[in-house]
Each structure stands twice: as C-alpha cells, then as structure tokens.
Structure 1
Amino acid sequence: MQSKFINALSYFSILFAPVLIPIIIWFAAGDFDVKRNAKKALFLQIVPTVAGILAIIFIGITGLSTNDSSVTGWIAIIVFGILGLISVVTYIYDLVLGVKALLAE
C-alpha cells in the first residue's frame, strides 16, 4: 500500500519538485518496484531538459552557419514548437503514470 503512494509521488513530483524527488526516492528505496518507477519518473522528467539543451545548441549552430536571421528565426520557432510538444506530452504522461500507480493493485 505504501509503495503505491511512493510510486505515484515519483511521477507527481513533476508538479512541485521535478528530478529531485525521483532521485531521492531512487536512492532511499529498498523495494525494486519503487526504484524502477523512480528511475522511470526521473528519465521522463529529464527528457525535456535534455531536449531543450540540444535545441539551443542546434539553433546556435544553425545561426552561425547560415548568417541569416530569418532562417534562424524560423528554425527556432519550429524547434521550440517541437520542444513544447515534447514537454507537454511528457508532463501529461507523468500524470497518467502517477494515477495508474495509485490505482494499481
């Protein structure tokens, strides 16, 4: 029963302390199932950050190689649109997995 709430907390931490809570739970938990869910939640919460860093690098390289601000601007709009979509999808998926963890038997 308690592991259900800890598993759900790993996913729901996207609302108040992303990355930090799953790391704490991952290292502190003794149950394999709790550790597995904490790792999954951590991965899902890190994906948008890594995608954002890669997007900024890509836009920077595009800006330096083309020397055209309009091309770089359109590339930035497209890349940040994709980044926003990735962020929203992982956010919703975290919440869905948190609810599923609470409803699991």
Structure 2
Amino acid sequence: MTHKMLLSVGKSVIIREVLTRLSVVGPYMPITINFSAQTSSACTQEILESKLDRKRRTLMAPPMNKKLIFFVDDVNMPRLDMYGSQPPIELLR
C-alpha cells in the first residue's frame, strides 16, 4: 500500500471522532452534512436551520450555551446546475 493510498482512507472517520470528543468535553454540538449529487440547496438549508433556534424573526443561533460545528462531507459532490454552479455550496458561502 502506498503512502498516497493511506491519505485517502478514513479522513471523515477521524474528523467525526474528533468532533464527537469535542462534544463530550465542551459546549460544542457537531453536525455532519453528507453531500451527494442529489443534494439540493433547499435540503441543505433545511438541515442547517433544523439545528438552529429562532431568536428573532430574521436571527437564528445555536441552542443556548452551545456552539455549532458543521462538518460538510464530500462538499464538491452536488451536481452542477445549468449555469455551472453548485447551489448547495453557494448557500454555504
């Protein structure tokens, strides 16, 4: 097995493990979003908003005394639209 092959295996698993440990020792609330070719911007927005509390009409924030960490796995997977952009990624920007 080459060094290059070792680097391409298990990155997401390691990140999830680190995020899980952070949530145990601190006020962190890790959320993993897995992008695929079928991921839409509406779906992405729904996932993001479902983890937030509405503070005011246009203001959303993490639950009280929590800090959200969003981990987006396979960020470049969403299909290109007819203009060559990837709407879920544009939403994150």
Q: What TM-score do you get using the length of structure 1 for normalisation?
A: 0.31
Structure number with greater Rg is 1
Q: Higher helix fraction: Structure 1 or Structure 2?
A: 1
Q: What TM-score do you get using the length of structure 2 for normalisation?
A: 0.33
Q: Which has the higher contact order (CA 8 A, sep 6+)?
A: 1
